[in-house]
Structure 1
């Protein structure tokens, strides 16, 4: 491979250096395909049972509160117990919920209310699992490979986002919901077996029990760090103002191109995958705040262009560019987060991230749908993109530290890097520095308190 080509293609260093990263990468891909089967089959089953769009839309309402509540609690839990154990137990819980869907589907008269209970349960399990999963990355991947690991994880999810729904749609359309749920159960069973092979990731010796006080401590730390606060705020603003998915069916009607609806949903993922496939340069980047800001602004500008365009192919190109901008911003956010957050607060900060991850798109769909009913689909889209660009600019002016963030000089990043080096040195001295498992508790890390 030529040096020029290797500098563009994804950096595979995390895959080579960490056995646990390889396990989680493969497990995540398997889980994603299983989850997508249920995500496609479940709303269609509700539609067949009720014939009501409102009944299908009610799924989002029953999912939001459990996701937020258990996401915050899951963050505190991830700091207090073995994170790999949380992942195993929640993955098993998701598998059991999939089994409930399968059993209910084979009944002569499936129970409707049970589908909503399962949807709420899945949201709760996902809220518990996501902080543990997100906070695990910095413990299993060397510090200088975090950006590359974020790019590889993004490539995994976006590949699944393109191929998964297409495959799930074929299974549901030609085989029905029972085989789809059966595939989901099989995928989660395999995933649990893989998660059981993860190395233990025990909490720090001074970790406390999950509590509201602990959650508040994480919130105070995030509030005291302008760079972290900027990553959350920019993502929340971008999703609230410029998440147009809910009005895509109306946009397709306006363009007299009903055939393009599926392509609209997939276009953003295509753009994200193209960025991930050419992400080799990310490992050499040190100004990740610039990625967050310009990626989010690029997302907004592309959404503006998509709303203005009257040619369906140009709309699809703009949505692809929006996905590319969102991926750049996501890579920057993930890297900053992993480079700066102390391990004793990592789970709680991941729980807070669940809020922006879940609330932003949910409220964004409400905003886009309500405005489309007032102004039409296209004005609702381009005005949201414009509001996104303006809000990103205002947030950048209010939090200038995000733009100037540099992994080489940022105080929190330097402290985290020194703690990781100390922990690695300790493992090597003990004869266990294989680099093939979690980095262990970072007793050598300086203690952080909110506001320092």
Structure 2
């Protein structure tokens, strides 16, 4: 393997439809991260409570579960292009609703939480549809690379967005961050409008409860897919302490006031690690023992979270070497998570039949985004009796224990090998 082979595989960018979506998503991802920072920071500024920040996880989780499952059914039943258009418009409107509430001087946290729930409902329909589209526009052998590039872009936005939000909140407040989010969704809407028609594959299915049940029945017969999702749920639920970031910045690092650089670094550190990992992700397209690679990456993630929690526990309430160790460990964890997520996404896209891709991705988006929402609730509640440092450390321990249990109980996943495509020279459609 040459030095060049270590770097990201960019072949998917040669496919026009993928390239348009990927390029447009640069601005959109940054905008989405502005809201990711603004909502919990605004809730904390109103209530002064990490428990209320954690409550946002519950309000985001319910619509994610309901509309994530139903959204996957919609993606398998209708033209995916039309589904993406409607759901993208919905996300633009909810970002404008955040802007309107905040500009009007709203201090009722429940209105913010309800708007957040509505936004997550549109997101839960959009994301599985978007991921299912990749199976239609990329060759099978390029799916791991496409997942890696998409993950790297999302995490790059998760660096620029939080840093921008942390710097801008003291100057322009929360309302204009939401307005920027709405504006930055427009490029993605344009890229979606440029897609060709993407009708359902195979026998037509009717969106609804029966379609969802059929997808879940199929998933139940696929242990590799089930474990891939369970591992993500374990890693995110126990190992994502983001609900504690405002309190860690204010109490453990001594950063007073709304916003600030350490808060921005906490939110962006895992994303920085993911981008660095993405730049060195060339091996992902070539790794054969994909299941074992996922296990190792999640163990590294859990170990990094344990060290970060220990550093928070001994932090003296100021920005010292312990604060920078926390940031460093979150960077390491972010790189490990990027590798793991890219491999898990590829496993799902490779192993699931194309006619159920939307429903499988719908379940997966419930897991991917629902896990951190559960983490927000659990970490927010655990911070009260245990403190933010110990709550973070114990989460990392549970990540390692849960991952080792999965590896031991389902050896078929650990032994999962990358499938060999029947025609490696197959080209993606020129659309």
Give your verdict on TM over 0.5.
Answer: yes
Aligned equivalents of 2:380, 2:356: Cα separation in 1: 37
Q: 1:45 to 1:233 in 2, by over 3 A?
A: closer
Superposition pairs of residues 104-253 of structure 1, within 5 angstroms: 104-107=101-104, 115-251=112-248
How far does the alpha carbon of each residue in 1:409-443 deviate from its partner, in whole angstroms, 9 at most, with x for none? xxxxx6xx44xx59x97xxxxxxx77323xxxxxx
Contact 1:396 1:402 in 2 (8 A): yes
Sort the Cα spacing of 1:167 and 1:314 in 2 relative to 1 into closer, same or farther, 3 A.
closer
Cα contact 1:11–1:283 (8 A) shared by 2:
yes
Alignment size in residue pairs: 416
Structure 1 stretch 163-172 or stretch 135-144: which is displaced more? 163-172
Q: Summarize the alignment of residues 51-450 of structure 1 with structure 2, pairs less than 5 Å apart.
A: 53=49, 58-107=55-104, 115-251=112-248, 258=255, 260-309=262-311, 310=314, 311-408=322-419, 417-418=421-422, 421=423, 435-437=429-431
Give distance in 2, aligned partners of 1:267 and 1:88.
32
Q: Deviations over 1:117-139 (max 9, x none)?
A: 43222111011111101111111
Shift in Å at residue 45 of structure 1? 5.5
Q: Distance in 2 between matches of 1:131 and 1:256?
A: 38
Higher-RCO chain (CA-CA 8 Å, sequence separation at least 6): 2
Q: Which consecutive residues of structure 2, in runs of 5 or more, have no partner in the other structure?
A: 256-260, 315-321
Greater Rg over alpha carbons, structure: 1
In 2 relative to 1, CA 210–434 (structure 1 residues): closer, same or farther, beyond 3 Å? closer
Is 243-252 or 357-366 further displaced after alignment? 243-252
Are the counterparts in 2 of residues 68 and 358 from structure 1 also a CA contact under 8 Å? no
Q: How far 1:30 moved relative to its partner?
A: 1.9
The answer to whether the 8 Å contact 1:269/1:323 transfers is yes
TM-score (norm 2): 0.87
Q: Give the drift of 1:43.
A: 5.0
Cα offset for 1:383? 2.2
Give 1:249 deviation, angstroms. 4.7
In structure 2, relative to structure 1, the CA distance for the partners of 1:166 and 1:395 (3 Å cut) is same
Asked if the contact 2:242/2:267 (under 8 Å) is kept, the reply is: yes
SS of aligned partner of 1:241 = helix
8 Å CA contact 1:71–1:124 kept in 2: the answer is: yes
Cα separation, 1, equivalents of 2:120 and 2:3: 41
Q: Deviations over 1:132-175 (max 9, x none)?
A: 01111111111111111111111101110001122233344323
Q: RMSD between aligned alpha carbons?
A: 2.7
Name the SS for the 2:271 alignment partner: helix
CA distance in 2, matches of 1:321, 1:282: 17
